[in-house]
Amino acid sequence: MNGPNPPKMAAWLLDKLGYLQHNPALFGDLQEEFRSGRSKAWYWRQTAVVILTGIRANASEGLLREFAILFLVQALLDCLLWRVRGKVIMGNFDAPGFLGSLAVVGFFTVQLLRGKRIGGLDAGAAALLYVMASSTLWARYPPHEMSLTYRLWLDFLPLAFTFMVTSLPTPTSTAGLPGSHAG
Amino acid sequence: MPRAYLGEFELMVLLAVIRLGEDAYGVPISREIEQRSGREAALGSVYGALERLEEKGLVRSRLGERTPERGGRAKRFFRVTAQGVREVREAQRALTALWHCLPQLEGGTT
């Protein structure tokens, strides 16, 4: 039977994050409900709940680490692009900010290479490292005129996000992905 | 076996599974909770609760047939176990005992 298809991006996200393979019945349910007249917004809300439930249930397993890696790659790219843009557009390469961000990314990378689970304390330590590295370097190389608010948003928001994600409480049960063990 | 304490949402899911009998899978469980409680029950949350209930031994699941309207994916049917029934009865007994003669609720909601 052919019917409307769920939002491609949401389905892609769930597939790439591994939920589709772990719990096909849930996706059958989502599709059944969607084809019975639910909106795309409903499907997106359901997707968000599935991902958040999965993150919470797998806080001690691999998925969280994958999220951390994804975040780090994104943060690194953001930092690089912003610094390069600063150099090209404003003619002033923000070396302290760039090196501070690089220190954070390097810290996380070492943690991941050592096979350590990144937790809230690690994120806090990385933030501290960033502040120390940047402050030390800013004293020597004053930053360009970009607003401090913008700088804080750009550099600290991803860190806060990491802290939030990695600090999610683990449920008392050892449940895996929602409904992952078919009987 | 130690008691498996039930959260409010887990209890609602368990009751919905009992009410639905043989037809208890994600979609009707979610709808049952929405209709009876007036509160939205996301499928992800329902499956999360069912997973926990299964780990506590309060429900069991089996896969049904694949159907085209579900994109070729099978339904996963749930059934309450004997231990699950005991837990529901115990929860009902405890809640009723706590509710009984609650002075603040007698004659009004304040």
pLDDT of B34-80, one tens digit each? 999 998 899 999 998 998 899 999 999 999 988 888 888 899 999 99
> Do A134 and A143 form a contact (C-beta atoms < 8 A)?
no
A94 and A162 share one domain: yes
Q: Supply the pLDDT for residue A3.
A: 67
Confidence bin at B109 (pLDDT 50/70/90): low
* pLDDT tens per residue across span A46-84: 988 887 777 656 544 555 555 555 556 555 655 565 555
Q: Supply the pLDDT for residue A136.
A: 63
**Is B27 in contact with A29 (Cβ distance < 8 A)?**
yes
User: What is the DSSP code (8-state) at residue B4?
Assistant: -
pTM (two decimals): 0.59
A34 and A99 share one domain: no
Tell me the nearest-neighbour CA distance from B15 into chain A, angstroms: 18
Task: Report yes or no: B45 at the A interface, CB cutoff 8 Å.
Answer: yes
Interface test with A, best of B25, B47, B62, B63 (most A CBs within 10 A): B47
The Cα A57–Cα B55 span in angstroms is 13
Which of B54, B55, B71 is facing A28, going by the closest CB pair?
Answer: B71
**Is A182 in contact with B61 (Cβ distance < 8 A)?**
yes
β-partners of residue B79 are: B60
How many domains does the structure of chain A reveal?
Answer: 2
Q: Which of A10, A73, A55, A25 is nearest to A179 (CA)?
A: A25
A93 and A45 share one domain: no
Name the closest residue on chain A to residue B41, using Cα atoms: A46
* pLDDT tens per residue across span B77-104: 999 999 999 999 999 999 898 888 777 7
What integer best gives the mean pLDDT of chain A? 64
**pLDDT at A169 > cutoff 50:** no
Task: Report yes or no: B34 at the A interface, CB cutoff 8 Å.
Answer: no
A116 and A53 share one domain: no
Interface test with A, best of B3, B67, B76 (most A CBs within 10 A): B76
A72 and A159 share one domain: yes
> Do B87 and B4 form a contact (C-beta atoms < 8 A)?
yes
Q: Supply the pLDDT for residue A60.
A: 47
In a domain, A175, yes or no: no
**pLDDT at A164 > cutoff 80:** no
Confidence bin at A13 (pLDDT 50/70/90): confident
A75 and A141 share one domain: yes
**Is B74 in contact with A173 (Cβ distance < 8 A)?**
no
Angle made by CA atoms B82, B74, B25, in degrees to the nearest 5: 40
A37 and A86 share one domain: no
In a domain, A151, yes or no: yes
Name the closest residue on chain B to residue A172, using Cα atoms: B52
Q: Supply the pLDDT for residue A5.
A: 84
ipTM of the complex in this document: 0.84
Tokens coding B17? 């599974």
In a domain, A179, yes or no: no
The Cα A44–Cα B61 span in angstroms is 27
Task: Report yes or no: B86 at the A interface, CB cutoff 8 Å.
Answer: no
Domain with residues B8-98, CATH architecture: Orthogonal Bundle (1.10)
**Is A50 in contact with B54 (Cβ distance < 8 A)?**
no
Residue A116, helix vs strand vs coil: coil
- Number of H-type helices and E-type strands within chain A: 8, 0
A37 and A121 share one domain: no
**Is B44 in contact with A49 (Cβ distance < 8 A)?**
yes
In a domain, A150, yes or no: yes
Interface test with B, best of A32, A47, A55 (most B CBs within 10 A): A32
Which of B45, B56, B68 is facing A53, going by the closest CB pair?
Answer: B45
Tell me the nearest-neighbour CA distance from A123 into chain B, angstroms: 27
A78 and A160 share one domain: yes
Domain range for residue A40?
Answer: 8-57
β-partners of residue A96 are: none
In a domain, A69, yes or no: yes
**pLDDT at A122 > cutoff 90:** no
**Is B45 in contact with A25 (Cβ distance < 8 A)?**
no
Q: Which of B1, B14, B2, B6 is nearest to B94 (CA)?
A: B6
